[in-house]
Amino acid sequence: MWQNSTLRYGSLQIGLHWLTLFVLAAVYAAMELREFFPKGSDARNTMKDLHYMLGVTVLVLLALRLGARMSGPTPAIEPQPARWQNLLAKLIHFALYAFMFGMPIAGWLLRSAEGDPIPFFGFELPPLIGPDKAFAETVEELHETVGELGYYLIGLHAAAALYHHYLVKDNTLTRMLPWTTRTGR
């Protein structure tokens, strides 16, 4: 079933969740792997372009995820967690969504402020602003800092899912796994 039910997420939401994770991993990999190539080399520039293109892909996936999330109910966690855990989960999800929105926009702003083209798999996206070296330096520093924090945010999300699955033994994780039964067990 592609839509969410009261028991678990639908295949559309599940697919978009795991595809987003895969693309985010590729975004980080492209940026980390560029270090293996000399500055100014074609290979390093390809890794940087791939990083930007995949970052914009995260933005596209985020729009699809938000649409899918609004298309049906959010499956309940059974047994119901404590109120503080629900609040913390909402806060972390908000931070993840802000991260997935803000980082691609920051990258797009950075490329625009640097006066560089914004490639997107054979297309060129329009710049968001005109060239501005000082602004580019500020955005680059912010983008790098938030990118580092992203490792921790994603890790916290994964750790919370594993905590709920293995220690609390609720259905938090199984609602989002593609291979579990419709009941989530």
The string of pLDDT tens digits covering residues 19-73 is 999 999 999 999 999 999 999 999 999 999 999 999 999 999 999 999 998 888 9
Burial grade of 35 (CB within 10 A; 0-12, 13-18, 19 or more): exposed
Reported pTM: 0.92
Q: Above 80 in pLDDT, residue 182?
A: no
Q: Above 60 in pLDDT, residue 183?
A: no
Contact indicator for 19, 25 with CB cutoff of 8 Å: no
Max CA pair span of the chain = 55
Q: Tokens for 36?
A: 């293996």
Q: Which CATH superfamily is domain 11-168 in?
A: Transmembrane di-heme cytochromes, Chain C (1.20.950.20)
pLDDT for position 5: 87
- Selected residue with higher pLDDT from 16 and 182: 16
Domain boundaries, the chain: 11-168
